[in-house]
A and B are shown apart, each in its own frame.
Chain A
């Protein structure tokens, strides 16, 4: 009874295998219209029960801390937690393969038919709407800063630097984020 294998067998529900990781993240990627995070939460916490709410929240915080799409970082975290780096790789490939195949097909169609007036008309309508969604995302992200004029100033600075002054992304991030982080450091009690 004291063998490590027995201990492992009696521990919390077994974690996923590589194949299960692949299937789950393929599912999350392909059902992810309008919010992959919500689907990931459903799949990982409620359906598969690979983690609890608390761990999911912690993982979300990590995924927002490192660069890259949050859902890709979630895949890497979950895969890595249960199956090491090969698990992270498999989860990431599971997440990306479906969209990759679909986008290649759409890319090929676009090369062929993108110049047709009906297609380019439809796409310019959709891109206008997509830009509206992006703007709405920015506006709703302003909420926590309502009573923080200094933060608003830095939001404005980042916006102006990239949009009107033509500063590169790397310059903007490397100059502004150390300042804003230093301010956050001193503002905390």
Chain B
């Protein structure tokens, strides 16, 4: 596959994922992983979770892992195409819905769709954490970090950046 084809399939894939990013978008990672790692072999499973970590620890929506994947696949152009593809179609949809929102926000079907999407969204978030945890080459220490971070996040209001700093140092020291 030549570069142009790769950029095009990158655009097509991320445009679709942007439109499927229900409930904020944390449920699209399994599909993104399947397509970019298993089907297209644009990056390895470890590179995917590395980029996931970078996107999560940087400002901006987590979903901007697509910018990093785009950069990895096709440099600056790849990053740009990936970002625009993800945000463009879903952005146009959001604009269209916002314009007519007042007309249907009180309707029964709108509430039904929103209430109905909620359990699907939650299930997809669990699938995301499961698939990505299994995909990474996880050591016992890594599982422990995942478990402890889960507990800390559920029981405290600690800024996650402190956790990232601590486990980043531990990882750099070869402890993970």
Chain A residues engaging chain B, CB cutoff 8 angstroms: 29-34, 36, 58, 61-73, 76-77, 80-81, 85, 88, 92, 95-96, 98-100, 102-104, 106-108, 110-111, 114, 117-142, 144-145, 151-152, 154-159, 161-163, 166, 168-170, 172-173, 176-185, 188
Contact = CB atoms under 8 A, between A and B. Distances in A.
Interface in B121-148: 121-133, 136-138, 142-143, 145-148
A159 B154 contact: no
Contacts of A161: 123, 127
Contact of B123 (A96, A126, A159, A170): A159
A149 to B, nearest CB: 11
Contacts of B20: 67, 169-170, 173
Interface in B112-126: 112-126
Interface size class for chain B?
35 or more
B64 interface: yes
Contact of B171 (A124, A130, A180): A124
Contacts of A158: 119-120, 122-124, 127
Contacts of A110: 50-51, 54, 68, 72
Interface of B: 16-28, 30-31, 34, 46-47, 49-64, 67-68, 71-72, 76, 79-80, 83, 87, 90-91, 93-95, 97-99, 101, 105, 108-133, 136-138, 142-143, 145-154, 159-161, 163-164, 167-176
Contacts of B76: 104
Main secondary structure of the interface of B (DSSP, over half): helix
Given A67-B90, A102-B58, A181-B115, 19 more contacts: A65-B97, A68-B91, A72-B91, A100-B80, A107-B54, A111-B71, A118-B174, A124-B53, A127-B52, A128-B176, A135-B150, A136-B153, A141-B121, A154-B119, A158-B122, A181-B116, A184-B111, A184-B112, A185-B116
